[in-house]
A and B are shown apart, each in its own frame.
Chain A
Amino acid sequence: MTVSRRIRGNILAWSQDSCIGCYTCARNCPHGCIEIETSDRGEKGLIPAPCTQACPSHVDAARYIRCLSQDKPDEAVAVIREKIPFPSVCGYICAHSCESSCNRSLIDQPIAIRMLKRFAVDNDSGVWKQRSKRAPSSGKQVAVIGAGPAGLTAAYYLSKLCGHKVTVFEALPKPGGMMRYGIPEYRLPDKILTDNIREIEKTGVKILTDTRVDNPESLLREDFNAVFIAIGAHQAIELGIEGEDDPRILGGIDFLREVKLGKKIVLGNRVAVIGGGNSAMDSARTALRLGARDVSIIYRRTRAEMPASPEEIEEALDEGITILFLVAPTRVTGDNKCLKLECVRMKLGKEDASGRRRPEPIEGSDFVIELDNIISAIGQRPKLPEKFELDTGRGNTIQTDQDTLATACKGIFAGGDAVLGPATVIQAIAQGRQAAISIDKYLGGSGIIDETLALPEEITDRKGGPREGLRPKTSAIPHQQRLDSFDGVEIGWDKESALAETERCLQCDLTYEVEKYQLKGGSCIYCGLCVEACPFDALFMGYSYERGTYRFVEQTLSKEELLTPEVRKPSGYFRPEIEKTLPEQTLLINRDL
Chain B
Amino acid sequence: MALKTELFVINLGPLHPSTHGVFRMLATMDGEVIVELEPVFGYLHRGIEKLAENRTYKQNIPFTDRMDYIASMSNELSYVMAVEKLAGIQVPERAEYLRVIMAELQRIASHLIAVGSLANDLGAFQTPFLYMFRERERILDLFDMVCGQRLLYNYMRFGGVSHDIPDEFLPALKKLLKHFPGFIAEYDQLLADNEILLARTKGIGVLPKKLAISSSASGPVLRASGVKWDIRKADPYSVYDRFDFDIPTGSAGDCYDRYRVRIAEMYQSIRILNQAIEQLPSGNVLNKVPLRFRPPVGEAFAHIEAPKGELGFYIVSDGSEKPYRFHVRSSILINLTALRDMIIGWKLADAIVTFGSIDICLGEVDR
Asked whether, in the complex, the Cβ of B291 is within 8 Å of the Cβ of A30, the reply is: no
* A571 contacts B by Cβ under 8 Å: yes
A28 contacts which chain B residues (CB < 8 A)?
A: 56, 58-59, 291-292
**Chain B residues whose C-beta falls within 8 Å of the C-beta of A547 in the assembled complex:** 141
Q: Which residues on the B side are within 8 Å of A106 (C-beta)?
A: 290-291
Kindly state the separation between the CA atoms of A574 and B167 in the bound complex, as whole angstroms.
14
Q: Judge whether A133 is part of the interface by a CB distance below 8 angstroms.
A: no
Q: Tell me the smallest distance from the CB of A254 to a CB of chain B, in Å.
A: 38
Q: How far does the alpha carbon of A8 sit from the alpha carbon of B55 in the complex, in Å?
A: 30
Q: Tell whether A545 pairs with B144 under 8 Å between CB atoms, given A528-B162, A572-B169.
A: yes
Bound CA–CA A161/B297 (angstroms):
54
A532 at the binding interface (Cβ < 8 Å): yes
Which A residues, 1 to 18, have Cβ-Cβ distances below 8 Å to chain B?
A: 4, 6, 8, 10
Contact (Cβ within 8 A) A574 B137: no
Closest chain-A Cβ to B58's Cβ sits at a distance in Å of 7
Chain A residues 74 to 132 lying within 8 A of chain B, measured CB to CB, are 105-109
Tell me the bound Cα distance from A543 to B163 in angstroms. 15
The 8 Å CB contact of A572, one of B62, B165, B290, is: B165
A526 at the interface (CB under 8 A from B): yes
Q: Mark the stretch among B17-25, B145-153, B303-311, B335-343 that contacts chain A.
A: B145-153
**In the complex, A541 has a CB within 8 A of chain B:** yes
Contacts of A529 in B (CB 8 A): 58-59, 61-62, 154
Residues of B close to A30: CB separation below 8 A: 55, 59-60, 62-63
Q: Mark A546-576, 1 if CB is under 8 A from B, else 0.
A: 0100000000000000000000000111110
In the complex, which residue of chain A has the Cβ closest to the Cβ of B60?
A30
Chain B: minimal CB distance from A506 (Å): 12
Complex formed: what's the CA distance from A526 to B148 in Å? 9
A440-B58 Cα distance, complex, nearest whole Å: 53
When distances are taken between beta carbons in the complex, the residues of chain A under 8 Å from B49 are none
Q: Report A-chain residues with C-beta under 8 Å of the C-beta of B147.
A: 528, 573
A470, closest chain B residue (CB): B294
A587 lies within 8 A of chain B by Cβ: no
User: Chain B: which residue is nearest A304 at the CB level?
Assistant: B90
Closest to A468 in B: B292
Chain A residue contacts of B149, Cβ below 8 A: 10, 526
DSSP majority for the B interface? loop
Distance in angstroms from A576 CB to nearest chain B CB is: 9
Q: Which residues of A contact B164 (CB under 8 A)?
A: 572
Which of chain A's residues has its CB closest to B154's CB? A527
**B137, B149, B165, most chain A CB atoms within 10 A:** B149
Give the shortest distance, in Å, between A432 (CB) and chain B (any CB): 34
A525 within 8 A of B: yes
Are A527 and B62 touching (Cβ within 8 A)? yes
A30 to B321, CA, bound (A): 14
CB-contacts of B17-53 with A (<8 A): none
Interface presence of B168 (CB below 8 A): yes
Chain A positions 250-308 with a Cβ under 8 Å from a chain B Cβ: none
CB neighbours of B62 from chain A (8 A): 30, 525, 527, 529
- Minimal beta-carbon separation of B72 from chain A (angstroms): 11
- A105 to B, closest residue via Cβ: B290
Partner of A533, one of B145, B165, B291: B291
A5: nearest chain-B partner, CB-CB: B137
Chain B residues lying within 8 Å of A575, measured Cβ to Cβ, are 163
If A10-B148, A30-B63, A533-B291 touch, whether A574 touches B141 (CB-CB below 8 Å) is no
Residues of B within 8 A of A528 (CB): 147-148, 154, 162
Which of B58, B61, B62, B148 has most chain A Cβ within 10 Å? B148
Q: Could you list 20 examples of A-B contacts with CB < 8 Å?
A: A4-B134, A10-B149, A24-B291, A28-B292, A30-B55, A107-B292, A108-B291, A108-B292, A108-B293, A109-B290, A526-B149, A527-B65, A528-B147, A529-B58, A547-B141, A572-B145, A572-B146, A572-B168, A573-B145, A573-B146
List B residues at the A interface (Cβ < 8 Å): 55-56, 58-63, 65, 134, 137, 141, 144-149, 152, 154, 162-169, 290-294, 321
A residues apposed to B, CB below 8 Å: 4, 6, 8, 10, 24, 28, 30, 105-109, 470, 525-529, 532-533, 541-543, 545, 547, 571-575
The 3 closest A-B pairs by CB, nearest first: A572-B166, A543-B148, A108-B292
